[in-house]
Amino acid sequence: MRFPLLLISIILLLSCTLIPFTLSERCHPTDKRALLKLKKDIGNPYTWDPKSDCCDWSGVTCVERNNVTRVININLQGGGIVGPIPASIGNFPLLEYLTFHKQPQLTGPIQPAIAKLKNLYTLDISWTNVSGPVPDFLSQLTKLTYIDLSFNNLSGSIPSWPSKLPSLEYLDLSRNKLTGSIPETFSEFKTKKLSLFLSHNQLSGKIPASLGKVDFSRFDFSRNKLEGDASMFFGAKRNTTLWEVDLSRNLLEFDLSNVGLPDSLWYLDLNHNKITGGIPQSWATSQISRFNVSYNRLCGKIPVGGVLQDLDYSNYFHNKCLCGSPLPSC
């Protein structure tokens, strides 16, 4: 009789020791299995210890809701991943934030399994070597508010679907190899204070005039081959949330003489285009604090007032016949 009693005592002692450890682990077992599968598929670059709580793992964030803790954020930065994004990334149905950033050996197309992450708010695949088109399947992620696909090797044309996402506030497709024109449908963005970055691509053609109706907070279309007019973005009573604009290093050609600036605008870069006319007198009383109109075809005297004389002459030089402080007098 003493041996069974001793065995029972040992079992009770072990249970008292082990149960608190088990109960203290916040990580949902389904998420832990999915993370370990993901770790294996990306080449085990992270020290995710299977014996520890996955909610404490580097790059992993858990949140408790309704007494259940699940992984909502996977943030994989700083290198170590080799090859394409694995299909196992789609095994996190409650994921809200996904980041692959500064992973130079991450290659191949954007993984279609990402379309399974229906609760995703933020998708950041930037500073990698992923290639192929900007995929249409991302349009299925209707909760997205933030997309950063910058500094990659994406090619092809810009798809029309981003403007259909009802809550999208931030889209960065800059520094890729995208070609073609800016979609006309980009005038249909629903959100206010949109941030849109398309710089350092190979975009061409005219900017759709209808984009002047979009409630931008900032946009950057610089270093492309865009042509024609861009005056639709400006006007003293237009786009009162607009505060930063970069249209530099394109082939834009319009008359600046009657272009008013929204009161909210503080940064404007128009350098290296084919813009004509002169700097409007109204700019001297605007709220703008930084701008560059160099390397255009402007003429006339620079108005006096505001920050116009405080800026370095390099913000004005290499125009047709622009003069006045900080350039030489007329």
Residue-wise pLDDT for 64-115, tens only, equals 999 999 999 999 999 899 999 999 999 999 999 999 999 999 999 999 999 9
The predicted pLDDT at position 235 comes to 80
- Which pair of tokens denotes residue 302? 């620079």
Closest by CA to 234, choosing from 203, 253, 258, 252, is 258
pLDDT of residue 20: 32
Give the predicted TM-score (pTM) of the model: 0.91
User: What is the reported pLDDT for 239?
Assistant: 58
Residue 163 to residue 306: CA distance in whole angstroms: 37
Positive/negative CA dihedral, 115, 117, 123, 127: negative
Place of tokens 């002692």: 13
Q: What is the pLDDT of residue 19?
A: 31
Query: Which runs of consecutive H residues, i.e. helices, occur in the chain?
Result: 2-24, 29-41
**Six token digits for residue 124:** 């950041």
**For the range 224-229, what are the long-range contacts, defined as Cβ-Cβ under 8 Å and sequence gap of 24 or more?**
224/198, 224/199, 224/200, 224/249, 224/250, 225/250, 225/251, 226/182, 226/250, 226/251, 226/252, 227/251, 227/252, 227/253, 228/252, 228/253, 228/254, 229/253, 229/254
Residues 6+ apart with CB under 8 A from 219: 194, 195, 196, 197, 198, 233, 244, 245, 246
Residues of the chain with pLDDT under 50: 1-22
Q: What is the pLDDT of residue 9?
A: 45
Question: Which residues, 6 or more positions from 186, have their beta carbon under 8 angstroms from its beta carbon?
Answer: 160, 162, 163, 196, 208, 211, 214
245 and 266 Cβ atoms separated by less than 8 Å: no
